[in-house]
Structures are given as C-alpha cells and as structure tokens.
C-alpha cells in the first residue's frame, strides 16, 4: 500500500522472489483497495507491506459447489484444491469467480511506525479494515498457549476454514526478530499441529519407488478412501523395516492418517479384521528399474540401488535439477524426463544442454512450438546462479540454504570440488555429515564427468569477483541489516561488499546487529534499530567503514 492505496501484490514464491498477481488480487472482495476502510481509522504510513493467507471459507466453498452442481459443472473436493492456483490465473476474471478470502496477520515492512507486538499488529490490521485470523489468544505463558491449541484441536470443525494446526508466536516482535531463523524457519514461532485424522481401508498391494539417491521406498496401493476431504489411493509405508515391524500384509484392512492434513501414511493393520487371505510382503532383492541387486548399509534402514546409471534414479535427478528452486526449466516435468531417459536422449543432467530440436520433435506430443519453448527455457537456465546450480546437483544434505552458504565461499563448482571435509566444516551450517556427502559426491567419477560436461556446455556460474583490495577483512565479525534504497549500490551489491570484507548480512534487526545501513524510504527496521540503539549508517558510512574509497 502506498499512501493508503493498494499498489502491489505478490506470491511468496521461493522465499526470495515471488510472482506479481496485483490484477488478480484486485478481484478479491475481502482485500481493501484503500486503507483505512472506515473513516476515523488509523492513518497508514506512506508505504505499508502486509502478509496474509488466501483461502476459501467452508461456507463459501459449500455455496460454490452448490452453484457448480446446479450448472452441471465439475465440483471441487476440498477448499484447499479450489483455492490453489486461483490467484495465479492469467485471466483475473477466473480469479473473481472463486470466493477467495484474504486473512492478514503480519506487517513485514513499513516506512513509518507500526506496533512492535504481534497482538497489537492484529488489532492494527483490523482497525485498517483487514480480516485477521480467529480465534486468537494473547497467552500469559507457553502452557496457556498449548492448552488453547489443544482445546481447538478438538473443535477444529468449528473453525470457519480448514486448518491443520495453530501457530504459537512470541508477542515481542523485536525479540522474535533477534532470535533469527534456522534455514527458512523463524525461531520466534512454531506450529502446533492438530492430530491427524484416521480412517481405515484395504491395502490392495505394495509398490516401490526409486529415489534420486537410489533409496528404494515402499508405498501402499489402497482401495480409494476419503480423508479430510481428499480421496487417497496411495500412502507412504516409510521403509521395509516398518512393514516388518508392524506386520503389514497385502489384503489387510489398515489404519490411515494424513500427517498435517497433507501427507497420507499407513499406521498399521487392524489385526482383528483379518480374514485369512492376507499375505506377507517380501521386499524386492533387485532394483525394479535396472534389476541391479539391492544393498543395505549396516546400521541403516534404507535399501539402496547402487547403480549410478539406474534410469529411475536419473529420472528423479532430472526432475530435481529442473525444479523451480533449482535450475527452473519450465516445461520439463517428470513425464518428459521419463521420455528423454527412455529414448536415450539424456544419460545425465548435463545432457539436457545437448538436446536438439529434431530430437525433441521425434518425441510423442511434441510440435514446433513446444520444442522451441523447451529449448528457450534450457538456454535461459545457463544464466542461473551458483547457489541454484549447487542445489540442483542433488548432493545429499545440500538444500537451498546450504547451497547458498557454499556459493558464498567458493568461486565455482571446480573450487568446491577441491575442498576437503575440513575446509567445508569451516562454513557455518555445514557439519561432518554434509561435508562428507559433498566430498563423496565429487569422488564419484560419474559426477565429476557431469561437472565437466556442464562446464563445456557453458553452465558455469561464478561467485561475483571481489573488488580490488577486498581481501582486507575490515568488517570481520560484524553483522549488518540493509533497509531502503541506497543512492549508488543496489542491495545485492551492498551485500556483496559486506560479505567480501568479512561481514554478515541479516534480514532482521536484533540486539546482535552491529549496524543498520539505511537508504531512501527505509522500512520498519529503522524504528526497531532506533529502539534497540543499533548504530545507523548511510551508504557513504558503509563505504568508509569497509575501507572503500
């Protein structure tokens, strides 16, 4: 909101970059286009950014399905599916047809003073005209908060929307900010999940999946059953030891849960319901994809296919490599990955960059436009950043956060390959297990070949070259937060300058913050820094402190 007028709306995206959905949000009736809605409400700052959740209320969902039934159209199974994707429609008119409700719960940036307690933020948002979550309790201690969450676990069907739990937050937002985050999870908040719903159904068979690291995972093939508004046909069985320990047999009537109302899994058999026709399950001894004998390491529950050239592993590796958080190659999903592997066009992830138009046109379902779009997406992925490429390689234990940490320390994949386990463990967030996994990954000749093929294909992003003299660690041990628009440096350039000089950049102001770097139109971070007595720098002050002319 700028000067009280709605100006921009975006999805959360990958946590760093979202998608502009402003035209679609304008069709959401519960989103005020001007704040405050009521005359006499609090005057908002010149710039105000809020965070909220888009959902469909139970009553609206039932009314929508009644209308669809009367019109002879397909109805939706649950509100979650109906809301999913509604705000990302290309045609805002389609979004307007869904009864979306926006529930606001946080102020994430502001050019003026806003409340510094979560309870007061909710009151402030309501006064501006936003719908906020209900029920809410400002608890006196943690025990009271847990009692409240447990009470609503038994009354979850009374909530106006579907929910799988409640969030317990520290009310003092300055303290919550100071606590920071672990990966992507804030330390100042935690989810209290409601118990998963249970139903029973027949286990018709047990199948197996081959993961991208070669782990063989069993899954249940079930007689379809509805759990919390979703029809479930398959569920996880965790591992083969779990099946043996629970004595789960094909043909059993089994109890089923949806963890967090999302992931279905089998709890175990209902032994009293057995009819004598059930049969014990025998785990496979060979990989279902390549027939290689399976292996099980001592002390581990996982069973592996050791064949690095296993086609099923390759399909999963491709799926991960092209995924949104990795190289983001749109149009290359798991079905196409299976086609490319089956037809012998791809033998590792680097072969994606050798695909030709003629080869793609020979695949079922491909025409000129589809082939051209895919090749354009592949070409665009050559420009992806080093953190994305490291994450895309699929090294065990290396998620997006660790990949970013590695990319801030090593210039390219070649320098990372030369690092020892001891070198890697010097990086914050990299422990012995991850360090060993990285070293072991590079020790495989097949993986080294992939890295070399990527280099020859021009997929070789580098860490930005340090500025002259940047080896002087003038900011060693200091923590910085940046807010507002700097006159000369972009935010990324300012971050690079700080990191190159030995400093750290955080997203939130706390008592551990050494300096707040302020530009034009600073957000609420400035007020927090002033409240905590954090020193304030402008761009010139940052340059002087860093020793840059």
Query: Quick one: average pLDDT of 159-182?
Result: 90
For residues 50 and 107, the answer to whether their CB atoms sit within 8 Å is yes
**Other C-beta atoms lying within 10 Å of the C-beta of residue 344:** 10
Query: Quick one: average pLDDT of 443-467?
Result: 87
477, pLDDT greater than 80: no
* Among the listed residues 360, 388, 391, 359, the one whose alpha carbon sits nearest the alpha carbon of residue 373: 360
pLDDT for the residue numbered 216: 94
Alpha helices in 9-168 (DSSP H): 22-25, 58-70, 79-83, 92-96, 118-128, 142-153
Bridge partners of 295, per DSSP, are: 304
Query: Quick one: average pLDDT of 523-547?
Result: 88
Tell me the residue length of the chain: 549
- Reported confidence tier of residue 472, pLDDT bands at 50, 70, 90: low
CATH fold of 311-381 reads DNA polymerase; domain 1 (1.10.150)
For residues 327 and 302, the answer to whether their CB atoms sit within 8 Å is no
pLDDT over 90, % of the chain: 57
pLDDT for the residue numbered 465: 57
CATH architecture of 386-456: Orthogonal Bundle (1.10)
pTM: 0.60
- Reported confidence tier of residue 136, pLDDT bands at 50, 70, 90: very high
Angstrom CA distances, 412 to 284, 390, 460, 465, 509, stand at 41, 9, 7, 11, 31
- Reported confidence tier of residue 461, pLDDT bands at 50, 70, 90: very high
Q: Tokens standing for 41? A: 């409400």
- Reported confidence tier of residue 105, pLDDT bands at 50, 70, 90: very high
Q: Reduce the DSSP state of residue 31 to 3 states and report it.
A: coil
Residue owning tokens 């589809």: 370
Write the pLDDT tens digit of every residue in 16-61: 778 899 999 999 999 999 999 999 899 999 999 999 999 999 999 9
Angstrom CA distances, 256 to 197, 235, 270, 308, stand at 8, 8, 11, 34
In the chain, domain spans = 22-193, 198-280, 311-381, 386-456, 479-546
Query: Quick one: average pLDDT of 389-411?
Result: 89
pLDDT for the residue numbered 203: 97
- One fold for both 311-381 and 386-456? yes
pLDDT for the residue numbered 478: 85
Write the pLDDT tens digit of every residue in 85-96: 788 777 888 888
Write the pLDDT tens digit of every residue in 318-328: 999 999 889 99
Domain 22-193 has CATH 3.30.470.30: yes
520, pLDDT greater than 70: yes
pLDDT for the residue numbered 262: 65
Contacts of 181 (CB under 8 A, 6+ apart): 187, 507
- Reported confidence tier of residue 259, pLDDT bands at 50, 70, 90: low
Write the pLDDT tens digit of every residue in 377-389: 999 999 999 999 9
Q: What is the pLDDT of the chain when averaged over all its residues?
A: 89
CA-to-CA distance for 436 and 356, rounded, in angstroms?
37
Write the pLDDT tens digit of every residue in 215-255: 999 999 999 998 866 789 999 998 999 999 999 999 999 99
Write the pLDDT tens digit of every residue in 288-310: 999 999 988 777 788 989 886 78
- Reported confidence tier of residue 141, pLDDT bands at 50, 70, 90: very high
pLDDT for the residue numbered 468: 46
For residues 203 and 248, the answer to whether their CB atoms sit within 8 Å is yes
* Among the listed residues 36, 44, 33, the one whose alpha carbon sits nearest the alpha carbon of residue 7: 33
Bridge partners of 505, per DSSP, are: 480
CATH fold of 198-280 reads OB fold (Dihydrolipoamide Acetyltransferase, E2P) (2.40.50)
Contacts of 81 (CB under 8 A, 6+ apart): 230
Write the pLDDT tens digit of every residue in 331-357: 999 999 999 999 999 999 999 999 999
End-to-end Cα distance, the chain = 37
Query: Quick one: average pLDDT of 66-71?
Result: 84
CA-to-CA distance for 80 and 261, rounded, in angstroms?
11
**Other C-beta atoms lying within 10 Å of the C-beta of residue 528:** 22
Is the previous residue joined to 135 through a cis bond, with omega within 30 degrees of 0? yes
CATH fold of 479-546 reads Rossmann fold (3.40.50)
Q: How many CA atoms lie within 13 A of 239 on its CB side?
A: 9
pLDDT for the residue numbered 464: 62
């Amino acid at each position: 909101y700028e000067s009280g007028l709605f100006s921009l709306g975006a999805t959360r995206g990958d946590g760093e970059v979202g998608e502009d959905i402003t035209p679609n949000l304008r069709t959401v009736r519960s989103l005020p286009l001007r704040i405050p809605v009521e005359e006499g409400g609090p005057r908002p700052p010149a710039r105000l950014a809020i965070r909220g959740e888009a959902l469909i209320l139970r009553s609206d969902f039932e009314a929508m399905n009644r209308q669809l039934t009367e019109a002879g159209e397909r109805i939706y199974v649950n509100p979650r599916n109906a809301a999913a994707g509604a705000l990302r429609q290309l045609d805002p008119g389609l979004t307007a047809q869904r009864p979306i409700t926006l529930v606001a719960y946080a102020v994430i940036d502001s050019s003026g003073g806003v409340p510094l307690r979560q309870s007061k933020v909710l009151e402030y948002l309501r006064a501006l005209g936003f719908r906020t979550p209900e029920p809410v309790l400002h608890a006196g201690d943690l025990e009271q908060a847990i009692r409240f969450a447990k009470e609503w676990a038994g009354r979850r069907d009374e909530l106006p929307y579907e929910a799988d739990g409640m969030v317990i937050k520290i009310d003092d937002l300055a303290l919550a900010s100071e606590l920071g985050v672990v990966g992507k999870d804030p330390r100042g908040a935690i989810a209290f999940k409601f118990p998963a719903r249970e139903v029973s159904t027949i286990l018709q068979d047990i199948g197996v999946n081959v993961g991208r690291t070669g782990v063989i995972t069993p899954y249940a093939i079930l007689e379809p059953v509805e759990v919390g508004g979703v029809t479930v046909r398959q569920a996880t069985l965790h591992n083969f030891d779990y099946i043996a320990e629970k004595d789960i047999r094909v043909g059993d009537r089994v109890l089923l849960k949806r963890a967090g109302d999302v992931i279905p899994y089998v709890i175990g058999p209902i032994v009293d319901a057995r009819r004598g026709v059930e049969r014990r399950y025998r785990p496979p001894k060979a990989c279902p994809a390549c027939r290689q004998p399976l292996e099980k390491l001592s002390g581990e529950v996982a069973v592996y296919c050791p064949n690095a050239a296993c086609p099923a592993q390759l399909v999963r590796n491709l799926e991960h490599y092209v995924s949104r958080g990795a190289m983001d190659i749109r149009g290359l999903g798991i079905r196409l990955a299976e086609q490319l592997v089956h037809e012998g066009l791809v033998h590792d992830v680097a072969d994606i960059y050798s695909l030709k138009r003629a080869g793609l046109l020979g695949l079922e379902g491909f025409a000129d436009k589809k082939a051209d779009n895919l090749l354009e997406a592949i070409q665009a992925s050559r420009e992806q950043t080093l953190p994305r490429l490291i994450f895309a390689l699929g090294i065990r234990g290396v998620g997006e956060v660790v990949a970013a940490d590695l990319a801030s320390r090593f210039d390219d994949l070649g320098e990372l390959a030369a690092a020892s386990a001891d070198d890697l463990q010097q990086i914050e967030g990299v422990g012995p297990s991850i360090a060993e996994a990285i070293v072991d990954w590079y020790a495989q000749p097949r993986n080294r070949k992939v890295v070399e093929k990527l280099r020859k294909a021009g997929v070789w992003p580098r860490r930005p070259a340090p500025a002259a003299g940047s080896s002087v660690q003038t900011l060693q041990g200091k923590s910085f937060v940046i807010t507002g628009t700097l006159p000369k440096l972009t935010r990324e350039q300012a971050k690079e300058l700080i990191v190159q000089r030995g400093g750290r950049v955080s997203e939130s102001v706390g008592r551990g913050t050494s300096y707040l770097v302020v530009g034009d139109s600073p957000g609420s971070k400035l007020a927090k820094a002033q409240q905590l007595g954090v020193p304030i720098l402008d761009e010139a002050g940052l340059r002087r402190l860093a020793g840059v002319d």
